[in-house]
Amino acid sequence: MDNQDKLNYQLINAAHFFQNDYQDRGMVKWQGYFLSDHTEDVGKYSKNRLDNVKRQDYEEMSEKAISQYLMKAFDQQFKVTIQLRNHNDQGIVSPLYHGKVLGFQDNNVVLSDNIQVFPLPDILYVK
């Protein structure tokens, strides 16, 4: 039997096996992958939720002190961290926003790495 005959014989046997004997387990074989992805997502969600609950308001700064610090940061081009006064519906404290002060627009502060602008009266703390 030459190589071509062996190959044809193997292909015929494989076709017969898949048509008559093989039973696909369907989604069962993939559940392990889905379970690990789901567990990872739940872990990330839980950590994020715990971080949000633990976050506290920093001590409130005066608007004048905030303005002076932001002007200094703009002039010297160093990164700042801003926390806003607002809380969401569940009472969770505003996240911290980081970036360099790119400039001021009316009464708003523009930070690098952020798409939004921050109204000066809404800023609770800056460092």
Share of the chain above pLDDT 70, in %: 83
Strand-pair partners of 124:
none
Read off the pLDDT of residues 27-50 as tens digits, 9 standing for 90 and up. Answer: 666 666 667 777 788 888 777 777
Read off the pLDDT of residues 42-85 as tens digits, 9 standing for 90 and up. Answer: 888 777 777 766 667 777 888 888 888 888 888 888 898 888 88
Residue 75 vs residues 52, 64, 78: alpha-carbon distances, Å: 32, 16, 8
Closest CA to 95 of 40, 58, 61: 58
Share of the chain above pLDDT 90, in %: 0
The rounded distance, in Å, linking the Cα atoms of 101 and 112 is 6
How much is the pLDDT for 122?
A: 82
How much is the pLDDT for 93?
A: 75
How much is the pLDDT for 115?
A: 78
Residue 99 has pLDDT above 80, yes or no: yes
How much is the pLDDT for 26?
A: 64
How much is the pLDDT for 38?
A: 75
Q: Which helix (H) or strand (E) holds 7?
A: helix 3-16
